[in-house]
Structure 1
Amino acid sequence: MTITQHLQELYGLPTFAFPDEEEKEALPEPGSVAWSLGVDAYGEGGKWVDLFARFLDTVDTTRVRALVVGAWEESYDTDSSHIVTALLDARERLPELRALFLGDLVMEEAEISWICQSDVTGLLTGFPALEEFGVRGGQGLLLSPVRHERLRALTVETGGLALQVVQAIGTSELPALEHLDLWLGTTEYGAGAGPADLEPYLTCAGMPKLRHLALRNSEIQDAVAAAMATAPVVARLEVLDLSMGTLGDEGAQALLAGQSLTHLTALDLHHHYIGEELQQRLREALEPAGVRLDLDSGDAEPDEDDEDGTSYRYVEISE
């Protein structure tokens, strides 16, 4: 599976693509939409920073609440550092900004693991009023541990998440965070975290309000499930998401043998490799308690090597 559709909303607001200079489209009220700014990904149009400058001069940005950064020129070869700089330089002109997503690119613009990111720490420290922050693409992505008082939702979508970023998020102090969504990915595309590196996520000590935890799209999904089966943090969660990865019978058995999950509102395991018997056991254990259980296997079909019959599993989104 690949990402084929741009974000439709952010911060509960519908996205609106800021138009090209030639277009004479009427603009919405500044605070009524999530403004999406993107240029031609192959460098055939203008530069993103020029589009952003025109946005600042055209829209009353003191009322803008949500901003989506779409494609920038040659994002598969040029990192996002100039965008981070431009946003930080304009922070005084964005006093009401509460949500920011960096890298809303679809497959035709750049595969997720081709998107060249950069150090995004400054976007969190530079916008202390942010409540939602998301980033897509793991190549070159850097983040230092931070303390952010108001962030409620953090999303990092990658085909391979570097160990340094996993460690930084796990040791950050995010007292208001309620929703954490990490796509761990595969080593082929830069994933660096092993089971032992997920220890901070067993308690999420720096995230006391966390209610939705997603550790997904991982080639070590069985190990992630085994860790979550006894993790203290699960007792205070409403949603546990272990989807999009290579979860199989081993991980399912660990979840069934571990702590009770009947307090959850939802357990998302979609795109999995769990056998029918264990799927049924999961249903019998959770659905009578009202847990919304997603066991849609989607296109998760193991491939077998022609020579030795070895079975290979794949995460949902990698390249």
Structure 2
Amino acid sequence: MSVRHVEQFYGLPVRTFPPYAHPEELPDPDAVAWRFQCGPYATDEDVEVCWRRFTESVELEKVRAVILGQPWYDADGGGGERFLTELAYRLTALEAVFLGDLEEDEAMVSWIGQSDLGPFLAAFPGLRELHVRGGQGLAFPVTGHEGLRVLRVESGGLPPEAAEQIAAAELPALERLELWLGDEDYGGGTTVAQLAPLLAGTGKQNLRHLGVQNSPLQDEFAAAFATAPVVERLASLSLSMGTLSDTGAEALLGGRPLTHLKELDLSHHFLSHAMMLRIWTQLEPTGVRVNLIGRQEAEDYSDVDYMADDADGRYIAVAE
């Protein structure tokens, strides 16, 4: 699975800021999501010039959405959000931010550096939507945030400590949460126990969509969701992109009823045809939209030393 530049964000068309455009040629500040992308060979001076022209030619008090790509974020590290944090006193209408909008030919998702997002979140209490691509160096050390409604973290290896911090944070307004947990070889390895507050529904009373995705422990998470209190309040659940097998699906179907869901996303899975039919038969007639697209074929690698930890050949959708 590949990741691409977003073309729309926060319901707005994306406009890459042209560093040499005249102010009268620019759209209204609140009509687009502003993307900053200078390419792989941009110097620090190029970045400073681009950002300075933006601050001088756009009415920052009206900007609603910002996307930071390369080189604000790349394989050399993150921290680009400091450009926003330093201007928080002017970016008073900012509601949505995407940190690390890079494609694969710019940096593999597991290489994209992030940082401690505590100061950034504290500077923008009115932030409603935050997307993060890449997990290397990511930290989310906040006790809570009153305004955040959407949080999406795309990673081939989300640091378990960051996942644990997100699970424990008080986010009372949060409606959508997606976590791509990733593989231990790329910095991931989050366990069910580390997401215990999230599974219990603690501190996220308005959560309606939850995605615990892209995990090599997908069977264990499916079994945990079978009895997780948070499921009762959800409208949609995603256990996609991981290594889900019949074992996990059996546990999920045998747990709390799922018939109240509008959607169950299990795409990129390793289910047998018989189990797929059982899921459809059990849930589709009740009105649940079930996504089983992307059936993967597991192979037996048990005789290959370097695949010893994945002897049945199952794999997640996004790792490196």
**TM-score between both structures, scaled by the size of structure 2:** 0.93
1:302 is the counterpart of 2:303? no
Aligned to 1:171: 168
Aligned to 1:53: 52
| 1:105 partner SS | coil
**TM-score between both structures, scaled by the size of structure 1:** 0.93
Deviation of 1:50 after TM superposition, in Å, equals 3.4
Q: Distance in 2 between matches of 1:25 and 1:96?
A: 21
Q: Distance in 2 between matches of 1:212 and 1:160?
A: 22
Aligned to 2:312: 311
Aligned to 1:63: 62
| 1:101 partner SS | strand
Q: Which runs of 5+ in 2 are unaligned?
A: none
Aligned to 1:75: 74
User: How has the CA–CA distance of structure 1 residues 173 and 45 changed in structure 2, closer, same or farther, with 3 Å as cutoff?
Assistant: closer
Q: Distance in 2 between matches of 1:73 and 1:170?
A: 27
Deviation of 1:257 after TM superposition, in Å, equals 0.7
Aligned to 1:234: 231
| 2:110 partner SS | coil
User: How has the CA–CA distance of structure 1 residues 238 and 74 changed in structure 2, closer, same or farther, with 3 Å as cutoff?
Assistant: closer
Write out aligned runs for 1:232-311 (5 A): 232-297=229-294, 300-305=296-301, 307=303, 310-311=311-312
Deviation of 1:107 after TM superposition, in Å, equals 0.5
Aligned to 1:20: 19
Matched to 2:196, the amino acid is E
Aligned to 1:31: 30
User: How has the CA–CA distance of structure 1 residues 22 and 55 changed in structure 2, closer, same or farther, with 3 Å as cutoff?
Assistant: closer
| 1:93 partner SS | coil
Q: Distance in 1 between matches of 2:300 and 2:103?
A: 30
Q: Distance in 2 between matches of 1:71 and 1:280?
A: 44
Q: Which runs of 5+ in 1 are unaligned?
A: none
Q: Distance in 2 between matches of 1:181 and 1:315?
A: 16
How many pairs does the alignment contain? Answer: 315
1:114-133 Cα offsets, whole Å, 9 max, x none, are: 11111112221110000001
Deviation of 1:23 after TM superposition, in Å, equals 8.6
Question: 255-264 or 117-126: which moved more?
Answer: 117-126
Q: Distance in 2 between matches of 1:141 and 1:248?
A: 30
Root-mean-square deviation (Å): 2.0
Aligned to 1:2: 2
Q: 1:101 aligns with which of 95, 98, 115?
A: 98
Q: Distance in 2 between matches of 1:54 and 1:84?
A: 17
Deviation of 1:244 after TM superposition, in Å, equals 0.6
Asked if structure 1 preserves the Cα contact closer than 8 Å seen for 2:38 and 2:70, the reply is yes
Question: 190-199 or 123-132: which moved more?
Answer: 190-199
User: How has the CA–CA distance of structure 1 residues 105 and 74 changed in structure 2, closer, same or farther, with 3 Å as cutoff?
Assistant: closer
1:162-214 Cα offsets, whole Å, 9 max, x none, are: 11101111111111100001000000100131122121121221000000000
Matched to 2:172, the amino acid is P
